[in-house]
């Protein structure tokens, strides 16, 4: 072996060892803070895209660009998927759980059983500061994009199917999103 070959081999060994070392997976940290991000070109400006498995909602602002918000989503079996439109928007909305919610969790929703009580809007209302109501073919899906009284639920699958946002984030989104906005939940 020539001296140059030996030196080159000796210098290359540590590099080869690093290249052969198993890759260490980098953990992506969930950040609910609204951020401008790149998005695939098939999503058009003025659309909302929700990726429940990553806990993000995207408001597409221009081709390939969106504002990303962190969200909380429905528990397994309770989540909405598909396409809808926002046909109603409300500030400090009233709320009543669905009959299915009352049946599933009678202890939690007992005050709503066998009556027509509707919780008034306000800081203690589960829909929070704003709600965007999702419709399909003119019919209410009973799914909402709304604020929350439980900020720790953002980034988790805990709701009865709705998309939750921090109140300050849903207030921001509410001001941007017009009636008729297309919402796609993958």
* Residues tagged active-site: 146, 162
Dist. CA 167–CA 148, nearest whole Å: 6
Buried b (16+ CB within 10 A) or exposed e, 16-42: eeeeeeeeeeeeeeeebebeeeebeee
Residues shown for the chain: 186
The total of other beta-carbon atoms located within 10 Å of residue 10's CB is 9
The structure tokens 């008034």 sit at: 120
Strands 65-70 vs 35-38: parallel, antiparallel or unpaired? antiparallel
**Cα distance between the two ends of the chain:** 60
Q: What is the 3-state secondary structure (H, E, C) of 65-81?
A: EEEEEECEEECCCCCCC
């Amino acid at each position: 072996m020539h001296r140059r070959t030996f030196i080159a081999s000796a210098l290359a060994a540590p590099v080869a060892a690093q290249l052969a070392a198993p890759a260490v997976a980098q953990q992506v940290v969930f950040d609910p803070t609204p951020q401008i991000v790149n998005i695939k070109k098939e999503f058009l400006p003025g659309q909302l895209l929700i990726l429940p498995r990553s806990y993000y909602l995207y408001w597409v602002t221009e081709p390939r660009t969106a504002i990303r918000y962190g969200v909380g989503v429905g528990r397994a079996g309770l989540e909405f998927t598909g396409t809808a439109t926002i046909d109603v928007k409300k500030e400090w909305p009233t709320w009543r759980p669905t009959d299915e919610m009352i049946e599933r969790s009678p202890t939690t929703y007992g005050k709503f059983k066998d009556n027509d009580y509707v919780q008034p809007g306000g800081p203690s209302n589960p829909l929070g500061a704003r709600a965007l109501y999702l419709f399909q073919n003119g019919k209410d899906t009973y799914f909402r994009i709304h604020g929350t009284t439980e900020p720790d639920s953002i980034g988790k699958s805990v709701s009865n199917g709705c998309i939750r946002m921090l109140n300050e984030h849903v207030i921001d989104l509410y001001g941007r999103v017009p009636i008729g906005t297309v919402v796609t939940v993958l």
